[in-house]
Structure 1
Amino acid sequence: MALHTLDNGILRVSIESRGAELQSLVDSVGTELLWQGGAAWGRRAPVLFPIVGQMPGGVLEHDGIDYPISQHGFARDLDFTASEATDDRVLFTLEDSAETRTHFPFSFRLEIRYSLEGTTLSVETTVTNLGDETFSASVGEHPGFAWPLLPGIEREAHTLQFARDESAPIRRIFGGLLLPEPIATPVVGDTLHLDDGLFVDDAVIFDQLESRTVRYTAPGAPVITVDFPDFPLLGVWSKAPGEFVCIEPWFGMTAPQGFEGEYSAKPGQFTLVPGASRRFAYAVSVDSVE
């Protein structure tokens, strides 16, 4: 494992080669904006691939064979190779191996590029099918931001403000799988008020989003803007007593309750024919409090 630090004089970020996982996001005044791990949740910003969420029974079925696969897939636990490193950008690459093929029986390349420009951290994830068989997959981002953003600010003062009004129902999970019934959204207009009670039933899942931008802030706190143009879904999650909130752009989500059969039939995935690639971008912009 190795830690790679990018610094453009405005933002400083650190990324661990294990999982290509963001470890730190520090703004221009020295405020750490990323959750630093703890008993409630030991991770900070894992990359989710080749699944988001869970498969029933923890298995992926392909051509009648069951392959064991853990929640959110295996990429977050494997060592990536770093290259093209400069002061403000770095590329991480993971390719399939004998180990990965025991869980996901396909040949792939997963590339994750981090870059800094001004007050923005951009993350581009590219999946390429290196094999001779079409496969389906999901990709998700899982950054956990500090909640509260600054000491002394009440947790309940924090909000997520969407670019548009979000009146559509949300989804919930039970036992790691998607419940069939949509439920009324907790968003009022364009604003989701954060409190611990929101996450008693696990993540809040937005699967009918109008927005592709959300702002996370509180009075007197920095503003974190997350743009996710290539992701149709968003999960918002926390777990008491952790002082974090995860803002999670997804392409794909956990399997529905009752799902069985061929993995490729799981709803919400993207599909790559041999030789094809697909790119997913998101960005985190920071407006600091001086």
Structure 2
Amino acid sequence: MAEAVQFTIASETIRATLTPLGAEMVRLEGGGRDLQWDGDPAVWNGRAPLLFPIVGALAGGRYRLGDETFALPRHGFARRSLFEVVEQGARRAAFRLAASEATRAVYPFDFALVVTYAVEGAALSVDVSIENHGAGPMPASFGFHPAFRWPLPFRQGRADHAIRFEHEEPEPIRRLDADGCLTPRGIPSPVVGRTLALRDELFAEDAIVFDRPASRRVVYGAPGAPAIAVSFPAMPHLGIWSKGGGAGFICIEPWQGYADPVGFTGTLFEKPGIVVVAPGEKHACGMRIELLPQFG
């Protein structure tokens, strides 16, 4: 698919470049500096993909509805779909993806996914509405996957960067197996108090999965420099990922849902983390990214 046109929304402090292809934010600038990973295909070509109608991988790459099975790639199809632009202004833009013959072949539900970006001051908000236009209940998940530069462009070293959680996070974290499925045993949290010191070894086994985080806000950065706050009040799970080996990005990923547990054989309705949207109803979630003057 040819790359879709890009356009920007901006406040006095931040600027976001958006594309209808995946309704993705492809550049985020704050204070005149690039804060977002550039999508270098030699490392990882993502920037801030949107995950729908699943988050993570399916066991065996397939899911079940009654007696039928369907295949979906990891994180679903929205990130590779062309959205309709339904609003485009100086500070706000909205995109819509509706069910089609192609989506019904792999996800047999009449949905609409509406994603709205807006900037105000030093903050960018991303609001999502998952709409069920069908006659029966609809199972769905949604996730954000923004990649920020590691290190941020404020002259602090890569090893100085950390993620500070809103609350202490003593609960065990989860990891992924070689197929991207959630392993059954939790392992001790790498968060010390409220701080996760970032180092490449954390991501030797893919993402860190907080399936029961206490926090709904984290701050990323290094002492003595501006930082980025990510808030996700209606998102119950969080993934943190980098490719390892010195990759120049860190992904802070609020999720509704996560990968299938290893050996999962239930239906999509039974998948952990799924939400079920009633006919004619909507499920709302969102994320807010804010540039802060200091890490803390």
Q: For this structure pair, what is the TM-score category when the shorter chain's length is used for normalisation? A: over 0.9
1:153 offset after TM fit, Å? 2.7
Counterpart CA distance in 2 for 1:120 and 1:113 is 14
2:288 to 260, 266, 283: 283
> What is the CA-CA distance between 1:2 and the residue it aligns to?
1.6
Query: Which stretch of the first structure deviates more once superposed, 192-201 or 57-66?
Result: 57-66
1:101-250 alignment, distance < 5 Å = 101-150=104-153, 152-174=155-177, 175-240=179-244, 241-250=246-255
Query: Aligned-pair RMSD on alpha carbons?
Result: 1.2
The CA deviation at 1:288 is: 4.8
Which residue of structure 1 aligns with residue 103 of structure 2?
A: 100
Query: Structure 2 counterpart of 1:267, which letter?
Result: P
CA deviation vs aligned residue, 1:64-99 (integer Å, no higher than 9, x gap): 111110000000000001122110000100000000
Within the candidate set 258, 268, 272, 2:263 is matched to: 258
Deviations 1:74-130 (A, max 9, x none): 000000011221100001000000000111111100000000010000000100001
How far 1:151 moved relative to its partner? 6.6
Identity of aligned residues (%): 41
In structure 1, the residue corresponding to 2:79 is in which secondary structure?
A: helix
**1:245 alignment partner AA:** I
Q: Is the 8 A contact 2:154 2:225 kept in 1?
A: no
Tell me which residue corresponds to 1:272: 277
**2:63·2:268 contact (CA, 8 Å) conserved in 1?**
yes
| SS state at 2:88 partner | coil
Deviation at 1:60, TM superposition (A): 1.9
String of CA shifts for 1:5-56, please: whole Å, max 9, x gaps. 001221111011100001111012x110000011221010000000000111
2:49 to 42, 46, 49: 46
Per the TM alignment, residue 206 of structure 1 is displaced from its structure 2 partner at its CA by: 0.7
- Give the unaligned 5+ runs of structure 2: none
Whether 1:33 and 2:38 are equivalent positions in the alignment is no
- Which residue of 1 is the match for residue 5 of structure 2? 2
C-alpha contact (below 8 Å) 1:225/1:284 kept by paired residues:
yes
Matched, 1:11 2:14: yes
> Which amino acid counterpart does residue 262 of structure 1 have in structure 2?
T
Report if the CA contact (8 A) 2:34-2:153 is conserved: no
Matched-pair contact (CA < 8 Å) for 1:60–1:103: no
Whether the 8 Å contact between 1:150 and 1:221 is mirrored in structure 2 is no
- Given that 1:27 and 1:288 are in contact with CA atoms closer than 8 Å, whether structure 2 keeps it comes out as no
65, 68, 71: which one aligns with 2:71: 68
Query: What SS does the aligned partner of 2:25 have?
Result: strand
Q: Which secondary structure state, in structure 2, belongs to the residue aligned with residue 60 of structure 1?
A: strand
Q: CA separation in 1, counterparts of 2:270 and 2:30?
A: 43
Determine if contact 2:139/2:269 at 8 Å carries over to the other structure: yes
Tell me the CA shift for residue 220 of structure 1.
3.6
Cα distance in 1 for residues equivalent to 2:109 and 2:86: 24
Q: Deviations over 1:177-200 (max 9, x none)?
A: 000001100000000000000100
Q: What residue ranges of structure 1 are gaps of 5+ in the alignment? A: none
Aligned residues: 288
CA contact (8 A) 1:108 1:128 kept: yes
Q: Is residue 2:69 matched to residue 1:59? A: no
User: Does the CA contact (< 8 Å) of 1:60 and 1:104 recur in 2?
Assistant: no
The TM-score with structure 1 as length reference comes to 0.97
